[in-house]
A and B are shown apart, each in its own frame.
Chain A
Amino acid sequence: MKAGLFFSSCGGMLEQTIDLKSLADEFASQVKTMVVGDFLDSKDISDIIRVVREEKLDAVVLAGNSPEEYTDSRQGRLLVDMLEDVGINPNKIAYVNLKQQVALVHRKDPVSQQKAVLLTRVALARIEEAHPVQMIRVAPRNTVAVLGKTVEGWLAAAQMLKRGLRVYLIGQTEEEMPPTLAPVKAFVELNPKTHLMEGYKVIDVYGWAGDLTIKIKSNKDEITVDVGAILVASNKRREDVEELRTILHLDTDQDSGLLVPLTMDSRMVETIEEGIFIIPNLETLDMLMRVALADAASLAVINLLEQPELLHKNLVSEVDESKCGGCGTCVKTCSFQASTVDPVRRVSQIDLRRCKGCGNCVTSCPTGARDLLTYPLAYLLKAVEILAEFGEKGEPKILALLCEGCGYKSVDDAAQANMEYSPNILPLGVRCGGAIDTQLILEAFNRGFDGITICKCADGHCSNIVGNTDLDRRANLFREILRSRGINDDLLRIVDSGGRGDNYCVNTLVQLFEAVKSGEVTR
């Protein structure tokens, strides 16, 4: 593997705290290093791509922005997409969040430099240990399922029919159309490419963008429909989406219980699931806005399905059959029905079209036969070992295990809100609360962390449905193991990240650090 390590000063923001030049020098003997001004700037992007090509790199670490910033804005992934286009496997691209995890939160602290070094080493360990993901080529189906006979549903259906897509309009109830929009409904109803599925509800969805399978059920029968994309057009009442959330694995708002988009500004009809779109629920939904949102959503679907080919990243967990005893634990753990035991060979197998790569089965597998491609256990153990080097001996150290769906974002937000905290709180992103193996927690205590805080999703908000529940169940039993080693189990704290825009997560981290430091909680 030939790796490149690129640093961005994030438009000069980082250099007040971190000496990027000497940070780059630290690694110059191991990997190709380069410092640029901004990963989101077209000149710097083309410079990086040029170096990657010239040096024939096959792995890249981007040290600067939070990985969230690449997904949160429209075209934010440009650099990442271009790296993938020149042949870097997605799992061989890792991020060091120098901006939100160091520069913004420990501005004047002289140990920031050491922390930056350690976080960079963790990212290098990631590209070293992560297994390459398999890319699956998908020719998108030119069919879309619209869930909900709402105003937006009819409007979006009409737009997509005009572009030649086949539309399944599925819904048990129907919203009344305002008189001015009555012709839209007539157009959809009379179009030969429309399938009006009266009285059906969705009971199962699996597959990926461009190739999704939906099972729908009515009083009479059960039908399977293959589509390229799904648009959820009814997102106004909690009871409409409650069931749908667990079938589609989407994020919901903690207060309203309604589906939330990827971001509330530039990506407001997209969701964490590529290929599944929603009409977001806004405070003011006048007719003008509703029409605009329906147009935006239909454009997003059309943009996706009109591509000749989509690349699906297969992030699923792996099975090492030589280690699998066929016990069935993974079968009972998976909430996507992706795990089964082959009745003849007696080994566990994974349904690629159902697996979300959440890592819950990896945690539960009692023989270690399963592993995640993106966050293999070997990487997590290495990361804990590296982070444990931080600071002077005897100084309290807290490990923050952050669910990438919520806790990670929540800690980023605190940084954005100018909240500073002790550098002795060391962050490590993980796939999901359900992907946190109690072996890893025990290892963190073993390596010298005094306390561990896990930031996971609140009840009913885990995009992997049960990752948070299973983490709680495991931790409840695991606390007994901690106590048996003479470790105060109050040193393991699990908090609901509270979604975005809330500092609860960071506050809990700081509280545990302060409590350990003052001796209020005995180590």
Chain B
Amino acid sequence: MGDKPRVATAWLQGCSGCHISFLDLHHELLDVFELIDLKASPIMDIKKVPEVDVALVEGAVSNSENREVLKEIREKAKILIAFGTCASFGGVAGLRNLYKMEDVLTEAYKNSPSVTGGELPGSPAIPKLLSKVYPLHDVVAVDYHIPGCPPLPGMIKEILIAVLNGEQPVLSNRSLCEECGRKQSEMLIPKREFVTNSVAALMELEEIDETACFLEQGILCMGPATREGCHARCMKGNVPCRGCMGPAPGALEQGTKIVNALASILPAGGLMFMEDIVGTGYRYSLPVSIIPSIRGNEADE
């Protein structure tokens, strides 16, 4: 027992989905526990992280507590892995960076339809909300990333074992189109024409072809601007990619890159009318954008 690498997991601003995905390894968890000595984790009773070899941290940094906990884990862990999309790119909750912090607080505590006579929290016992959501690597040095919302159980296992063996975990640099497997036809014809005349929302269509490229059906899909590695689970469920694996490493960010690409694939008028370009392009990765927040959200000290 004493010889096994010591591992801890923790979550910050997340939904625990990454941990659930870890548990989804089911019987394979036993293989993992053969190799590691899990010292602390939200899924067991010890939550305070001791000195460890490897720490997996789920969730983004959104408040002062997240930040404090993360810094402590960084000090105690030899290797720190950003576990999942929130930890790597800020995740869905990072979309609050589109608003000023005061507006976010007012909306949540005062204006929300479920609130009457609400007040902004002022108690010193409550962690202070940071002006914006940060990925882990904005706060501390991160050694590896496991992207995905949530990451595939197998991917978690593979990367963890590689790191334990002192190997460099391998992630693809390509986009999701490579593993999607849907049939492309218009997209591959070297002719300057939009692949379809109209842009449609998913629920508008009576039927969605389960085998054809979503873009060719006029459905906005983030696949081209998203890193592969998720085994195209959504597409197999007949849902277009929403971009949770984050940008491909050759791109600086996701939102502008999908705009650049879509301009020659789908009619811009339809896109502007039908889609929330910002929300779609940055759904999971706004905090790693070139400009990660609305102006006026001062840097947190």
Q: Which of B228, B262, B295 contacts A485 (CB 8 A)?
A: B295
A366 in contact with B261 (CB, 8 Å): yes
Closest Cβ neighbor of A377 among chain B residues: B252
Flag whether B256 is at the interface (Cβ < 8 A). yes
Q: How far is the CA of A437 from the CA of B263 in the complex (A)?
A: 12
Closest Cβ neighbor of A332 among chain B residues: B264
B248 in contact with A327 (CB, 8 Å): no
Given known contacts A328-B187, A470-B263, A486-B295, A477 and B277 CB-to-CB distance under 8 angstroms: yes
Q: How far is the CA of A327 from the CA of B266 in the complex (A)?
A: 14
Q: How far is the CA of A320 from the CA of B248 in the complex (A)?
A: 13
A366 in contact with B272 (CB, 8 Å): no
Q: Which of B188, B252, B293 contacts A341 (CB 8 A)?
A: B188
Q: How many residues of A contact B (CB 8 A)?
A: 50
Residues of B within 8 A of A28 (CB): none
Given known contacts A339-B190, A367-B224, A478-B259, A333 and B264 CB-to-CB distance under 8 angstroms: yes
Q: Which of A335, A366, A443, A446 contacts B251 (CB 8 A)?
A: A366
Residues of A within 8 A of B263 (CB): 364, 470, 473-474, 477
B272 in contact with A480 (CB, 8 Å): yes
Flag whether B268 is at the interface (Cβ < 8 A). yes
Flag whether B8 is at the interface (Cβ < 8 A). no
Residues of A within 8 A of B250 (CB): 320, 323, 367-369
Residues of A within 8 A of B257 (CB): 366-368, 439
CB of B216 to closest CB in A, whole Å: 9
Residues of B within 8 A of A337 (CB): 190-191
State the main secondary structure of chain B at its contact with A.
Answer: loop
Residues of B within 8 A of A341 (CB): 188
Q: Give chain A interface residues in 321-353, CB to chain B under 8 Å.
A: 322-329, 331-335, 337-341, 343, 346
CB of A522 to closest CB in B, whole Å: 11
Q: Which of A364, A366, A442, A486 contacts B290 (CB 8 A)?
A: A442
A332 in contact with B251 (CB, 8 Å): no
Flag whether B195 is at the interface (Cβ < 8 A). yes
Given known contacts A443-B252, A486-B295, A486-B296, A346 and B178 CB-to-CB distance under 8 angstroms: yes
Residues of B within 8 A of A335 (CB): 192
A366 in contact with B248 (CB, 8 Å): yes
CB of B215 to closest CB in A, whole Å: 8
Q: How far is the CA of A368 from the CA of B265 in the complex (A)?
A: 17
CB of A473 to closest CB in B, whole Å: 4
Residue from B175, B176, B191 with most neighbouring chain A CB atoms (10 Å)? B175
Closest Cβ neighbor of A363 among chain B residues: B260
Flag whether B271 is at the interface (Cβ < 8 A). yes
Mask of B279-301 contacts with A, CB within 8 angstroms, 1/0: 00100000001110111100000
CB of B248 to closest CB in A, whole Å: 4
A477 in contact with B98 (CB, 8 Å): no
A481 in contact with B278 (CB, 8 Å): yes
Closest Cβ neighbor of A474 among chain B residues: B263
Flag whether B193 is at the interface (Cβ < 8 A). yes
Q: Which of B190, B224, B268 contacts A327 (CB 8 A)?
A: B224
Residues of B within 8 A of A367 (CB): 173-175, 224-225, 248, 250-251, 257
Residue from A329, A366, A445 with most neighbouring chain B CB atoms (10 Å)? A366
Q: Which of B98, B228, B278, B291 contacts A442 (CB 8 A)?
A: B291
Closest Cβ neighbor of B250 among chain A residues: A368
Q: Give chain B interface residues in 96-123, CB to chain A under 8 Å.
A: 98
Flag whether A291 is at the interface (Cβ < 8 A). no
Flag whether A484 is at the interface (Cβ < 8 A). yes
Closest Cβ neighbor of A335 among chain B residues: B192
Flag whether A454 is at the interface (Cβ < 8 A). no
Closest Cβ neighbor of A336 among chain B residues: B190
Closest Cβ neighbor of B194 among chain A residues: A332
B228 in contact with A325 (CB, 8 Å): yes
Flag whether A216 is at the interface (Cβ < 8 A). no
Flag whether B69 is at the interface (Cβ < 8 A). no
CB of B237 to closest CB in A, whole Å: 20
Q: How far is the CA of A484 from the CA of B282 in the complex (A)?
A: 11
Given known contacts A331-B189, A480-B277, A481-B281, A438 and B264 CB-to-CB distance under 8 angstroms: no
Closest Cβ neighbor of B175 among chain A residues: A325
Q: How far is the CA of A365 from the CA of B257 in the complex (A)?
A: 7
Q: Give chain A interface residues in 440-486, CB to chain B under 8 Å.
A: 441-443, 445-446, 466, 470, 473-474, 476-478, 480-481, 484-486
A439 in contact with B264 (CB, 8 Å): no
Flag whether A515 is at the interface (Cβ < 8 A). no
For the A-B complex with A332-B191, A367-B173 known, give 10 more contacts whose Cβ atoms are closer than 8 Å. Answer: A323-B249, A325-B224, A332-B264, A340-B188, A366-B175, A367-B250, A368-B248, A369-B250, A439-B290, A487-B295
Which 4 residue pairs spanning A and B have beta carbons closest together? Answer: A368-B250, A325-B175, A328-B187, A367-B248
Q: List 25 A-B contacts (CB under 8 A).
A: A323-B174, A323-B249, A325-B176, A325-B178, A325-B224, A331-B187, A331-B189, A337-B191, A343-B188, A366-B225, A366-B257, A368-B249, A368-B257, A438-B256, A439-B257, A441-B256, A442-B291, A477-B259, A480-B272, A480-B277, A481-B277, A481-B278, A484-B98, A485-B293, A485-B294
